[in-house]
């Protein structure tokens, strides 16, 4: 993140009824990248502790198109369900596609994966890091919403570490495991073996047949 001080503005809040319950959508602008980051908020989170929070990075192919190459779309749905069941919580949607490398490079990485590279090596082959995401904006959004501490919905230990460095109090981790199937098995295995993601790869994470 640039050394320029980030200025975050919560410009609009509006009610969004979803398949997973009613949320209030907060639209945030900032002076660094002009990206439209948003937060889906359920219930009263101001001054609350241990609030369930999912920090979800944009995945056009998974979130919108329903791609089975990753677990992103399923995680998005599951996180909203978990927050709705808890009665309050926050889903922060960050505009950092493809672990921060952008949609074009992500699609090029997909082609490299079809040629035999895994998701990490494909990014590196394109001149990027395995994961270039940053969480400064997420930390500022939590501060703006006046959250005291969170229960982070994630399998990614790096995300926890980065948020703690940014001053976010993470009380605990809430696992979020999706289905394994033929299209995402190698992707999930690479997450575990090369990115230290905390996935069981068995049990709850069971095989789901193709539609």
Q: Answer with the residue of higher pLDDT: 159 or 198.
A: 159
Provide the pLDDT for residue 208: 47
DSSP per-residue codes, 33-89: T---EEEEEES--TT-SSEEEEEEE--IIIIIT--SSSSHHHHHHHHHHHHHHHT-E
Sheet harboring 150-153: ordered strands across? 8-18, 21-30, 37-42, 89-94, 51-57, 150-153, 170-174
Which among 38, 47, 49, 52 is positioned nearest to 84, based on CA atoms? 52
Tell me how far apart the alpha carbons of residues 100 and 132 are, in angstroms, rounded to a whole number. Answer: 5
How do the residues of the chain divide into helix, strand and coil, expressed in percent and rounded to 5? Answer: 35, 25, 40
Comparing 22-36, 42-56, 159-173, which segment has the lowest mean pLDDT? 22-36
Among residues 131, 136, 171, 186, the one annotated as catalytic is 131
In whole angstroms, what is the distance from residue 159 CA to residue 92 CA? 13
> Can you give the pLDDT at residue 6?
77
pLDDT in tens, 34-84: 789 999 999 999 998 999 999 999 999 999 999 999 999 999 999 999 999
Is the pLDDT at 210 greater than 50, yes or no?
Answer: no
pLDDT value at residue 211: 41
Which among 33, 133, 173, 183 is annotated as catalytic? 133
Measured distance CA(189)–CA(167) in Å, rounded: 31
Across residues 105-127, what is the average pLDDT?
93
Closest C-alpha to 48, from 161, 145, 186: 145
**C-alpha distance across the termini of the chain, in Å:** 41
173 as an active site residue: the answer is: no
> Can you tell me the mean pLDDT for 172-184?
92
Both tokens of 11, joined, read: 């410009």
Cα separation, 122 vs 81, whole angstroms: 32
* 15 part of the active site: no
Please report which confidence band the pLDDT of residue 32 belongs to, taking 50, 70 and 90 as the band edges.
confident
- Domains within the chain, CATH numbers bracketed: 10-96+133-195 (3.40.50.10990)
pLDDT in tens, 192-207: 888 878 888 764 455 4
pLDDT of residue 3: 66
| 131, pLDDT greater than 90 | no
Higher pLDDT, 132 or 105: 105
Question: Among 12-21, 28-37, 106-115, 150-159, where is mean pLDDT lowest?
Answer: 28-37
**What is the model's pLDDT at position 209?**
45
- Do residues 87 and 41 make contact, with C-beta atoms less than 8 angstroms apart? no
The residue that leads in pLDDT, 28 or 198, is 28
What confidence score (pLDDT) does residue 129 get? 87
């Amino acid at each position: 993140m640039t050394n320029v001080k980030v200025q975050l503005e919560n410009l609009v809040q509006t009610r969004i009824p979803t398949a997973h319950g009613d949320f209030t959508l907060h639209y945030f602008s900032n002076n660094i990248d002009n990206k439209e980051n948003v937060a889906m908020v359920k219930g009263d989170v101001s001054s609350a502790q241990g609030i369930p929070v999912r920090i979800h990075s944009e995945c056009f192919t998974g979130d919108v198109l329903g791609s089975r190459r990753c677990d992103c779309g399923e995680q998005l749905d599951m996180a909203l369900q978990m927050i709705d069941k808890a009665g309050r919580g926050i889903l922060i949607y960050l505009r950092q596609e493809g672990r921060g490398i952008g949609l074009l490079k992500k699609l090029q990485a997909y082609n490299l994966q079809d040629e035999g590279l895994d998701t990490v090596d494909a990014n590196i082959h394109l001149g990027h890091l395995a994961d270039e995401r940053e969480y400064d904006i997420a930390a500022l959004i939590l501060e703006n919403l006046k959250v005291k501490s969170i229960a982070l919905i994630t399998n990614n230990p790096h995300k926890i570490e980065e948020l703690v460095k940014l001053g976010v109090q993470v009380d605990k981790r809430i696992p979020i495991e999706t289905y394994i199937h033929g299209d995402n098995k190698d992707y999930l295995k690479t997450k575990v073996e090369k990115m230290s993601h905390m996935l069981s790869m068995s049990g709850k994470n069971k095989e789901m047949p193709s539609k």
